Chains A and B, each alone.
Chain A
Amino acid sequence: MLTYIVRRLFAAVGLLLVVALITYCIFYQLPLWAGMSVNNLAAEFVGKSQNQQAIQGVIQRFHFDQPFFVQYYDYVKAIIVGDTYSDGTQLVHCSAPCFGYSFRNTEQVWPTLLDRFPVTLSIAIGAAVLWLIVGIAVGVLSAVRKGSVLDRTVMIFCLLGVALPVYFIGPLLWMLDGFPGISYNSFLGDPIGWAQSLWIPWVALAFGYAAIYARMTRAGVLDALNDDYVRTARAKGLGDGRVIFKHALRAAVMPIITMFGMDVGAVLGGAVLVEFTFSLPGLGELAITSLQQSDLPVIMGVTLLAAFFVIIMNLVVDVVYAKFDPRVRLA
C-alpha cells in the first residue's frame, strides 16, 4: 500500500511537470509563436509604467532571451529551490516554492495563493459535506419510493439543480434571506460567523452537485435493489432498512466515492462561479481577475495548484476505493 502511494506520488509529480509544461507553452510561448515580439510580451507584464528599463527587467526575469526549454527549466527550478531576480529596479528574493512575481499586484504569487486558499477551502468543505449528505439521502429516499409523488418532486428539483447556474441560485438565496453580508471570516477565529457568512455560497454551490449525486444515488440504489445479492439479503430475512443501507447503498456508493473525490479536487482549485458571484477572495476569483489582467505568473500558479488538487484527490480516491472494494488490489 505504502509503496503504491509513493509510486503514485512520483507519477503525480511527473504529471504536474507535464501540466506545467503545457500551461507554460500556452501562456509564454503561444504568443511568440503567434508572431508577438519578445518586447511586446514582456510589456504585458510591466503594467502601466511602460519604460524600456522595466521591460528589459522582465525579459531578464523570465529569461525570454533564452531558449524555451531553459525558460521552462528555470520556472520549475524556481518552484523547487526558489529564485532571486531583478524586477528591473531592485533585486528580489523569492523562496521556494516560487511561482514568480506578479507585476500587477506587486506581490509574489505563492503568498497570494496561500492567502486565497483558506477561502476556497472553506467553500469547498462546507459545500462538499452538504451536497454529499443531501445528495445521498435524497437519492436513497427517492429510489425507495420510486414512482411516488416524492420521487417525482425530487427529480424535478434535481433537474432544476442541474439546469440552474450558481449565479442564479446564489443571488436568489441571498435575496430570500434579506441580503445579508457575505464575507469570509476565518474558521479558526470565529467558527459560527464563518458558517453564517458562508452558508449561502455553500447552498448555491452544493445545489447543483447534490442534484447530480441524488440522481446517481437513486440510479445506483435502484440497480443494486435488482441485484442478486440484495435478493439474497432479503431471502435471509433482513429488514428493509438493513437491505437498503447495508447492502444496496453499499454497492451504489462506489461510483459516488470516485466522483466525490474528483469534484472536491476540482472545487479546491477554485470555486470560480460562486466566488465570483459573492466576491469571495478565493482561488477562483483570483484566477478570473488575473486572467482579465493577463497576470501570467498568477494564472500559472492557480492552474498548477488546481491541477495538484485534482491529481492528489485522484490518488486519494484510488486508495479509498481499494479500502472499500476488497476486490481491488493496489499494486
Chain B
Amino acid sequence: MTPRHSGEPASESDRPASGSASREAHSMSTISDAQDSSFSLTTDRRPFLDVRGLKVHFGTEDGLVKSVDGITFGLERGQTLGIVGESGSGKSVTSMSLLGLHRRAGRSGKGGAIMSGEIWLDGKELISASPDELRALRGQKMAMIFQDPLSAMHPYYTVGMQLIEAYRVHNKVSKSEARKRAIEMLDRVGIPQPDSRVDDYPHQFSGGMRQRAMIAMSLMCDPQLLIADEPTTALDVTVQAQILDLMRDLQREFNSALIIITHDLGVVAELADDIMVMYGGKAVEYGPAKTVFSAPEHPYTWGLLSSMPRLDRPVQDRLVPIPGSPPSMINVPSGCAFNPRCGYAELCGRVSAHGPDVCSAVVPELIQTTGAGRHLVRCHLPADVRRQTFDEEIRTHL
C-alpha cells in the first residue's frame, strides 16, 4: 500500500473539528499506528484532495435531512477511491458537494444545502469558496462523469457542441481549435470515426458510446480530480468492463485523482486503491481495497459482500440480502445507524463493555482496527470478535 494519507482520518463525525478528546479515549493503538504505518511520508503535507468532517444537510418541511454527516478522507493524484453504499447512503450527495453543485441554503436554512467541514483541493478550500471561484474550478480542475449518459447529455445539441462548450468555457480558443480538441478526445476514448461522429446527437450514439463521450467531455480540460458517479450502472455488462478499462487507462494517462461512486462492489474491486463504505451519511468502513475485501470488519460490508452474486459459487447457494431498507435520513436510528438491520447487534450487546444497549444508544466512532495497516471501522463489536465472526460465519459464504 502506498502511503498517501495525512493524519486525522478518524475524526468523529459529530464533532469533526474537535474530535481529539474522543480520539484519545478510543485510540490506544489506533491513530498512532495508522500514522506510523502508512502516513509517515505525508503528515506535513495535505493530500491533493483532503476532505475533513464534511457535512451536507438539507432543511426540508419534514425536518433536517442529514445526507452526509461528517466524512473524512484524502486522495492523491493517480489514486482511486471507491465510495460504496446503498441508495440514500449519501454517496452521490458527497460527490455533488465536492463540485459545489448543491444550491446553498439561505440564512433561514431552507431551500438548499447546509454545508460544513472542509474540502481542500490542491491547497484551496472549497466550502468557503465563492460561487464564481467554484464555477471556475468545475470542469477545469475537477470534473464529473454521470450515471446515465443519455439524460446527462443535452438531447438537442450535438455531442461535439457539448464537448466544445466544456472546453471553451475555461479556455480562450476559437471554435475550430476546440472542435479539434473534441475530435481528439473522442478518438482517445475510443469512438470510431470521431471526425464525423462529433456532429452526431447523443441519441445517435449507443449507450457505451455515450458514456465514452461523457468521459471525453469530462476530460476536455484535463481535470486533476475526476468523480464518476455510478459510471457503469446504466450500461450493459459487457460494456461496463470496457468503460472501466478505459477509465483506468485514462486515469494513468492523465494522472488524475479518481473517485468512483457505486453500489457495485465489483466496480471498485477493479479500480479502487481505497474503499469507503458509507451508511446513513457516515463512513462505516474505510481502508485499502485489498484489506476491505479480504478482511472486512463492518457487518454492513459483510452484508454487501454476501449479497453480491458470484459465478464460482454453487447455484444452490442463495444470496444473502441485507434485511430491511436504508434508514430515513431525517429520523436516523439512534446509536449506530445500522443497528436495526444488523444481525450482530445482540451479540454486540452481550460482549460489549458498554452494556447490552450500546448499539442503539451510542453512536460508534470510526476508529483504526487493531490489524496491520490503515483500516478504519465504525462498529461497537470488539475488533477480535469482528475478525472471529468474519472468519467463522462470513468468509465461508463468500
Instruction: State the A residues within 8 Å of B (CB).
Output: 147, 227-229, 231-239, 242, 247, 250-251, 324-327
Contacts and interface: CB of A to CB of B under 8 A. Distances in A.
A235 B138 contact: yes
B355 interface: no
A326 B166 CA distance: 21
Contact of B138 (A227, A237, A247, A327): A237
A234 B137 CA distance: 11
Given A234-B138, A327-B203, 13 more contacts: A147-B111, A228-B148, A228-B152, A229-B151, A236-B139, A236-B143, A236-B165, A237-B138, A239-B135, A239-B169, A250-B157, A251-B154, A326-B158
Interface string B50-94: 000000000000000000000000000000000000000000000
A223 to B, nearest CB: 13
Contacts of B139: 235-238
A237 B144 contact: no
Interface centre among B138, B155, B203 (most CB of A within 10 A): B155
B217 A236 contact: yes
B361 interface: no
Interface centre among B137, B158, B169, B203 (most CB of A within 10 A): B169
Contact of B143 (A228, A229, A235, A325): A235
Given A227-B151, A228-B146, A250-B156, A238 B165 contact: yes
Nearest to A234: B101
A143 to B, nearest CB: 14
Contacts, number: 71
A326 B111 contact: no
Contacts of B170: 237
Secondary structure at the A interface, as helix, strand, loop or mixed, is helix
Contacts of A242: 169
Contacts of A228: 146, 148, 151-152
B165 A231 contact: no
Given A228-B146, A327-B201, A237 B155 contact: no
A-B pairs, 6 with minimum CB distance: A237-B139, A237-B138, A228-B151, A236-B139, A229-B154, A228-B152
Nearest to B204: A326
A247 B155 CA distance: 10
A231 B144 CA distance: 10
A237 B101 contact: no
Interface in B343-371: none
A231 B169 contact: no
A247 B161 CA distance: 12
Contacts of B152: 228-229, 231-232
A142 to B, nearest CB: 15
A227 B146 CA distance: 12
B232 interface: no
Given A231-B101, A326-B203, A236 B169 contact: yes
Contacts of B138: 234-237
Range class of the B interface residue count = 20 to 34
Nearest to B157: A250
A238 B308 CA distance: 39
Given A237-B139, A239-B135, A324-B156, A231 B203 contact: no
Contact of A247 (B111, B154, B169): B154
A236 to B, nearest CB: 4
A57 B155 CA distance: 63
A235 B223 CA distance: 12
A4 B389 CA distance: 71
Contacts of B148: 228
A229 B217 CA distance: 13
Nearest to B141: A237
B385 interface: no
Interface in B181-231: 201, 203, 217
Contact of B169 (A232, A237, A251, A325): A237
Contacts of B21: none
Given A229-B151, A326-B201, A326-B203, A237 B137 contact: yes
5 contacts: A229-B155, A231-B101, A234-B101, A326-B155, A326-B158
Contacts of B99: 235
B169 to A, nearest CB: 5
A236 B156 contact: no
Contacts of B157: 250
A228 B99 CA distance: 15
Contact of A235 (B101, B151, B154): B101
A251 B157 CA distance: 10
B251 interface: no
A237 B140 contact: yes
Nearest to B200: A326
A236 B163 CA distance: 9
A246 B101 CA distance: 18
B56 to A, nearest CB: 16
